[in-house]
Amino acid sequence: MSKLLTQALAKFLGGVIAVGALIFLPAGSFGFQQGWIFMGTLFIPIFIAGSVMLSKSPDLLRKRLNAKEKQKEQKGVVAASGILFIASFAVAGLNWRYHWPILPQWVTWCATGVFLISYLLYAEVMRENEYLSRTIEVQEGQRVIDTGLYGIVRHPMYTATTLLFLSMPLILGSLYSLFIMLLYVPLIIIRIHHEEKILEDNLPGYTEYKQHTKYRLIPLVW
């Protein structure tokens, strides 16, 4: 447990430092208020969720901390997503520093609400699906989950993460950052198409599941 705690804290603190640097160094000041709102909105729920997993489900926490994508195509998607995050955060800092058009404060607070609701949605997905993984894989003994959120869309985790990621630049008040982060949508579509092929080939019952749960990401849309 102590090793897992150390690993979790190291990754958490590393994330805080990295994201803080990406936001505040381009801003050239710690006076970037939306940056602090974003840091709190992002990392306080992560800390709470990590603490809960550490006490209630350490194996799940260990699996998520050590997950590494094995599929070549998905490694590219993950790398591209990382570039989008770096660019979006840095541009938000520059946006504040050089007084480019900044979104109204009410947009920041509305986006914060969307982020927190999306995080709760993500937590519910984790509760419903014990096989949930950060990588595309079919685990031993895995079965199709077709109830709860999985009865509405086939990939509720990606629904939640898409809402999370698109709300981030709005919390930071940067429309330019939002334009960058919108590129995440085609990336997640590529990932879903690849994941569904793997699940159809390796997870019994997934083809039948697709027939009665029609939508992948957004009900009545796609």
Residue 217 lies in a domain: no
165 — pLDDT class (breaks 50, 70, 90): very high
Instruction: Express as a percent the part of the chain with pLDDT over 90.
Output: 60
- Residue among 33, 183, 47, 165 nearest 111 (CA): 165
Domain hosting residue 8, numbered range: 2-63+71-131+142-212
Residue 219 lies in a domain: no
The C-alpha angle with vertex 149 and arms to 56 and 204, in degrees rounded to 5, equals: 90
Convert the pLDDT of each residue in 130-162 to its tens digit: 767 655 566 666 788 888 999 999 999 999 999
State the total domains in the chain: 1
Residue 218 lies in a domain: no
- Residue among 73, 130, 107 nearest 178 (CA): 107
Residue 193 lies in a domain: yes
Rounded alpha-carbon distances, angstroms, from residue 212 to 19, 142, 152: 41, 19, 10
User: Residue 89 and residue 158: Cα distance in Å, rounded?
Assistant: 21
166 — pLDDT class (breaks 50, 70, 90): very high
Residue 116 lies in a domain: yes
Residue 27 lies in a domain: yes
Instruction: Express as a percent the part of the chain with pLDDT over 70.
Output: 91
Q: CATH number for the domain including 121?
A: 1.20.120
Residue 26 lies in a domain: yes
Residue 85 lies in a domain: yes
